[in-house]
Amino acid sequence: MTTSLSPPLILARGLTRSYPVGDGAVIGINAVDLAIAAGEMVVLKGNSGSGKSTLLALLAGMDRPTAGELTVAGHALSAPDGVDLTRYRREVVGMVFQSFNLLPTLNVLENVCLPALLAQKPAEKTRTRALELLEWLGLAPRLAHMPAGGEMQRTAIARALINDPALILADEPTGNLDSRNGRIVIDLLAQLNRESGRTVVVATHSDLADALATVHIRLRDGAIADSPCHG
């Protein structure tokens, strides 16, 4: 349970990412202020180009802001050299992408174990945890197969969870799925949020997650269009 005294899991102040283009700059996000408590299920919406992926990439430690402050789970991501970003990306966040980003030459189990092995976690513990996750996701019969079809995003969710991250970030996770598999993926993200108290941020054009969100954020031209509302 988060109390008003706990610092928010995500705190952004004036968060800005612009991209130099020619003599000018394109705004990715501009002066975004956010305070998200641990345990929320955040749905991030906005038209194409409104800055959803830019914001997620900053939260994921995959990109650096050009101005403003960003702290996630106590890591000051905006402070140059203040954070071991490789470690942050592996251990604090789990990322789920529209295009799955699985390695096609690895089977389901190997894809899931990879981030833990890269983080130098013990192989046997990693395998046990991967088997638990894959069982939960209904993928136990598919361990030795190459990931395919609707199971690809479930494999990617297991991979995102293998290092037990506090924050799950999903960028259009249903964008390449049919509606049945899209529903399954959104329900799994919501279940993770409810049952293990994990904070989830999902950027999506779909309405599938609306009813499950605890915080709704809409971006417009890189800025928050209306203040985040709960429920």
Ligand X SMILES: Nc1ncnc2c1ncn2[C@@H]1O[C@H](COP(=O)(O)OP(=O)(O)OP(=O)(O)O)[C@@H](O)[C@H]1O
> Going by DSSP bridges, is the β-strand pair 41-45/67-72 parallel, antiparallel, or unpaired?
unpaired
103 binds, among ligand X, Mg ion, none (CB under 5 to 8 A by kind): none
Least CB distance from residue 99 to ligand X, whole Å? 12
Residue 206 vs residues 42, 60, 77: alpha-carbon distances, Å? 14, 22, 29
Size of the site for Mg ion (CB under 5 A): 2
- Supply φ then ψ for residue 117, to 5 degrees: -70, -35
Task: Please choose, out of 1-9, 45-53, 103-111, 155-163, the segment that lies near Mg ion by the rule CB under 5 A.
Answer: 45-53
CB of 17 or CB of 52, closer to Mg ion: 52
Q: Cα–Cα distance between 199 and 190 in angstroms, integer?
A: 10
Q: How far is CA 215 from the centre of its chain?
A: 15
Residues 6+ apart with CB under 8 A from 64: 17, 58, 77, 78, 80
Q: Rounded to whole angstroms, how far apart are CA atoms 39 and 214? A: 9
| Contact code string over 36-75 relative to ligand X, x by CB under 6 A | ----------x-xxxxxxx---------------------
Nearer Cβ to ligand X (28/147)? 28
Min CB(87)–ligand X separation in Å = 25
Question: Shortest approach of ligand X to residue 20 CB, angstroms?
Answer: 8
Binding of residue 28 to ligand X (CB under 6 A): yes
Query: Contact residues for ligand X (CB under 6 A)?
Result: 19, 21, 26, 28, 46, 48-54
